Structure 1
Amino acid sequence: MSNNEVVMDPKIKQAETVEELIRRLEKDDVKFVRLTYSDIHGYPRGKDIPLEFFKSVVEDGQTFCVANLVDGLAGNPLNAPGMAPDRGYPDMRGIPDLSTVVTVPWEPHTVQCLVDLYDDNGDIIDISPRQFLKRAVDLFEKEWQLKTVFAHELEFYLLKKTGDGWERYSNHSSMVYTVGHRSDELGMMHKFLSAGKVLNLGLTAANHEFGAGQFEVNMLHGEAVESSDRAFRFKNMVKEVAACQGLHATFMGKPFNHDAGSGFHIHISLNNDNGNAFYGPNESDGLSRLSKQFLAGILHHAPALMAFLAPTVNAYKRLVPDSLVPLSASWGYDNRTAFVRIPADRRSGSRLEIRAGDASANPYLISAVCLLAGYDGIVRQLEPPIPVSGDVSLEDNLLTCLPKSLEESISNLLQDERLCELIGEPMVNAFTAMKRVEAERFRRYVTDWEFNEYVYHL
């Protein structure tokens, strides 16, 4: 990770008032402001606002229904105690964060702005993913004056429409880390990198991955909220730019039975006034005691963290042996089969890479819960187990195995009282209730596999 920073468009960052910002946007022929926020799935919600109404939105907020934060992916409202239907579907207000205003390159005359969510009393919405992450970040800044630093890596598949549905964008056999027209016929990676530059997403590299039609993009590191904002916007950008080309991008963890799954790797470090607090120049491995405590917290809570890292029924189809996906709560030096990999970089680049994330995960939520687990490791001065070596992406009873289903992960989360206390009751209740509904809907659904396996013989 370099020391470069991603900054907003200087014309926008230097605006002293909303009036000045609006005048500058008018000069650039902007006519619409796209307000967006993340629901618990990580899906973008929002509204398009004519620029002439933006000033009143900045002052008074834009109303949304709070129920949209916990809608199921089938559009089913979450009927659970304390949730929106139980309270008559009340409003929440989105207050624009003007530091996040950026041009939308695929929409003429449009800028995008993230909003923070509050209730009518001016209190934050506890289950707002962005606000939840800000609360986790505050623990480190207020208690220890530590800055939380993240970088995100995401994998995804590109699909094209056929008469019967969707198929891979490219079926050409291609090795990982290949580039060019043989693996990317329409030059989509350059389109993504170009759009990312306009959006200030800090995209540093793009390449073909293991699966046919599968790609990976790396992102520059930054402060936790800002970095997660970019990851959230990145997923939406990929989908939108792909749609403009008649394609579909999916961050589903395991869309194909006989091909690689898509992961979401997150790199974490903490900075103090002296630089990277994970660097231990006097330690034999170059890692500070603080980094080891943080690491120990991650591993201690790993089975519970999986509810957020692998938040769908499908995500557990990706957790299979011999696939560079961890199956146990392990760590190792530059070992891509472990739950936590310690890259070889030291000094300013000292960091942990958490490799168990599914591409479908919410950037805000996984960043927040990993911070809270690491926080607990520091507070309790936990010690990590011995590092592993070799390929540990196999079943191993000597290691703490990870859950094998969404239901099992939810159970592990609810049994982890310390992590639930740190996460907070509102988020735990909303997330687990929503995911239990999802798991139950799948339990009742007759799959193609069941039909093909049983209908003829039984």
Structure 2
Amino acid sequence: MKDIFVLRQRELPYRVIDGEPVQVSFSSEDVFAKIKEENIKFLDLQFTGLTGRFHHTTISTNMFTPKQMKDGLPKLDGSSILGFTSIDDSDLILKPDPSTFAVIPWYEENKTARLLCDVYWGAGRGRLSRDPRGIAQGAEEWVKTAGFDYSAWGPEVEFFVFDKAHWDVLTPYKGQSYSIESVEAPWSQEGTGYPMGLQEGYYPSTPSDTLTPFRNECVNVLSENFGILCDNHHHEVATAGQCEIDIKYDYLTNSADATQSYKFVIRNIAKRFGKIATMMPKPISMDSGSGMHTNVSLWKDDENVFFEEGQDGELSQVGRYFCGGILDHANALCAISNPTTNSYHRLVPGYEAPVYVAWSGSNRSAIVRIPRHFEGRDYAHLKRLEFRAPDPSANPYLVFSSVLAAGIDGVKKKTDPGDQVKEDIFKMTKEERRKHGIGVLPASLGEALLELESDRIFLKPIFKDEVIDKIIELERKDQRDIAVRPHPHEFYLYFDV
């Protein structure tokens, strides 16, 4: 079978039928026909907030009309969605996208389907500038002005699945704590008998890997119900249920839609298995955290312009410049690709997460990697850059859009990334890194926000200033909330000073 991406028309979803992906174009008329044919009782209208959280409101299908599909529904108080609007100007409209129709399989009674929505101002005032999906759609149009037809994106989203998680943060004068339970963990009191050590969870077979049935079910639901094709799934490096399910690459907005739907499906399937899933980047001390390695390529006339035979790593000059743009703006990108204080517990040496600003081929210690599993023109469609910094707490619409902005800035300015680094950067001395011109990523969210404040001009073609201002404001609040609270480990370090 040919590569799925080459076969697809723009913005048309597919469904897996008899084991094969088949194009299905859902128009407004098709949605209403499906509602009747499958006896759908309710519609979940889903959208994404600025911070990346998924939201929804549910309506009865017997109240849903073609005019509402076309004009939208006045169902949203924007002041109640973090980062959207102020209370004095908060009337927003949800406009469903019929191509995103999917039946949610776990509602066995009162059958329910979902539609992803675009967010508009009321009174005909146009698109909400802080709607992440709108930003991504704008990025797709903007890339054409740079001379390309489209960009392709393939996120590798990692996450943890625990049996239980508890935390106490609501009694600050008493103290704060958390605990994690997992049958796979070496601290488990009721494990399988085959616990995994810290950083020993990569590709174990069953019965050590207890989550194979869970991931199988996730892949089935993603493909058969949501039209999201998954390359493969496996246990990841960390103990205690770290997993990865890879999404087939797609157009920018489609891929961000798929990432949000992926998180939605994983959390709900975990609940049905009696477990809890989290996209928190670093929930376990002294173990690997979860990343969202982001693969990107640029296309023109159905050709991958990152591929050039005979070049080092078969990476074209355009690909090198795009890489240079990412490296040039990497520190500022972190405020978007790694938007939580917890993100920077993952970005430390020794746990496979990238820390140093460099690029390479198969070297996973660099922040940008050029995967080299296959080479030659037969695999030209797979030539891509892998930006390894992002984590799954990030908003995929904003991550993909900002990385695109950085890369195109590099192409326009002809920013050369320098020589690739083939040595293990983690083993280099500070002096060796200096000689190679290798920089270091921000060590905290506060540092990343300072970088974004001073290096934001590259985002202007896609992001309005007020969007960047709001991102900085919200993340600064999180930073302050953590800064004013003592950490439990500080009692171990300093109680007897």
Whether TM exceeds 0.5 here: the answer is: yes
Q: Using structure 1 for the length normalisation, give the TM-score.
A: 0.91
Q: 1: CA distance between counterparts of 2:343 and 2:27?
A: 45
Q: Show the counterpart of 1:360.
A: 393
CA contact (8 A) 1:153 1:216 kept: yes
Q: 1:12 Cα deviation (Å)?
A: 9.8
CA contact 2:270–2:276 (8 Å) conserved in 1: yes
Percent identity among equivalent residues?
A: 25
* Match of residue 167 from structure 1: 181
Matches within 5 A, 1:174-193: 175-184=201-210, 187-193=213-219
User: What residue number does 1:425 align with?
Assistant: 465
TM superposition shift of 1:88? 1.5
Give how far 1:180 is off: 3.2
Once the two structures are superposed, what CA deviation does each residue of 1:88-127 show, in whole Å capped at 9, x if it has no partner?
1512111000001011122231111100111122411111
> 2:409 & 2:284 partners in 1: Cα distance?
37
Amino acid at match of 2:78: V
Tell me, yes or no, if structure 1 residue 8 matches structure 2 residue 6. no
Q: Displacement of 1:54 after TM fit? A: 2.5
Distance 1:16 1:133, change over 3 A: closer
Report the Cα offset of residue 282 of structure 1: 4.8
Counterpart in the other structure of 1:309: 337
- Residues 12, 99 of structure 1: CA spacing in aligned structure 2 closer, same or farther, 3 A cutoff? farther
1:244 aligns with 272
Cα separation, partners in 2 of 1:334 and 1:185, compared to 1, 3 Å: closer
Deviation at 1:420, TM superposition (A): 4.3
Letter in 1 for 2:403: C
Question: Residue 92 of structure 2 aligns with which residue?
Answer: 92
Question: 1:28-39, aligned counterparts within 5 Å?
Answer: 28-39=38-49
Listed one character per residue, the Cα deviations across residues 324-375 of structure 1 (whole Å, up to 9, x for unaligned) are: 2111110001211110000114511110001111221111111110000011
Residue identity opposite 1:154 in structure 2: V
Q: What is the TM-score of this pair, normalised by structure 2?
A: 0.84
1:111 maps to amino acid? A
SS in structure 2 of the partner of residue 84 of structure 1:
coil
* Cross-structure match for 2:283: 255
Distance 1:401 1:101 in 2: 43
Contiguous gaps of at least 5 residues in structure 2: 168-178, 186-194
The 1:317–1:448 alpha-carbon spacing in structure 2 relative to 1, beyond 3 Å, is: same
* 1:113–1:393 distance in 2 versus 1, CA, 3 Å: farther
- Residue 412 of structure 2 aligns to which amino acid in structure 1? V
Q: Does 1:369 align with 2:395?
A: no
CA shift, 1:260, in A, is: 1.1
RMSD over aligned CA atoms reads 2.3
Alignment of 1:254-403 (within 5 A): 254-344=282-372, 345-346=374-375, 347-393=380-426, 396-397=433-434, 398-403=437-442
Alpha-carbon distance in 2 for matches of 1:421, 1:24? 41
> Where does residue 170 of structure 2 map in the other structure?
none
Equivalent AA in structure 2 for residue 290 of structure 1: V
Contact 1:326 1:393 in 2 (8 A): no
Question: 1:311: how far off?
Answer: 0.6
Structure 1 counterpart of 2:449, which letter?
Answer: I
Conserved? CA contact 1:137–1:371, under 8 Å: no
1:224-274: per-residue Cα shift (whole Å, max 9, x none)? 111111011101110111012221101111101121111110110011115
Q: Note closer, same or farther for the CA distance 1:343–1:93 as it changes in structure 2 (3 Å cut).
A: same
Give unpaired runs (5+ residues) of structure 1.
72-82
Residues 133-170 of structure 1, C-alpha deviation per residue, up to 9 Å, x if partnerless?
Answer: 11112111244142110011011111112788541252
The SS at the match of 2:113 is strand
Q: Which amino acid in structure 1 is aligned with residue 181 of structure 2?
A: E
| Cα distance in 2, alignment partners of residues 275 and 265 from structure 1 | 23
SS of equivalent residue, structure 1 residue 107:
coil
Deviations along 1:17-55, one digit per CA (max 9) or x if unpaired, are: 43x531332211211111111112211111111112222
Rounded to whole Å, the distance in 1 between the matches of 2:121 and 2:183 is: 43
- Please tell me the residue identity of whatever aligns with 2:251: E
Q: Which of 23, 28, 32 in structure 2 is aligned with 1:22?
A: 32
Equivalence for 1:151: 154
What is the total number of aligned residue pairs between the two structures?
444
Q: 1:205 aligns with which of 232, 239, 259?
A: 232
Contact 1:157 1:215 in 2 (8 A): yes
CA distance in 1, matches of 2:162, 2:289: 15
What is the match of residue 110 of structure 1?
112
Cα deviation 1:189-228 (Å, max 9, x = unaligned): 1111111122112112111111111111111111111111
| Alpha-carbon distance in structure 2 between the residues aligned to 1:343 and 1:57 | 45
Letter of the 1:327 partner, please give it: V
- Give the 3 Å change call, closer, same or farther, for CA 378–15 of structure 1 in structure 2: closer
Q: Is the 8 A contact 2:156 2:244 kept in 1?
A: yes
Change (3 A) 1:268 1:14: closer
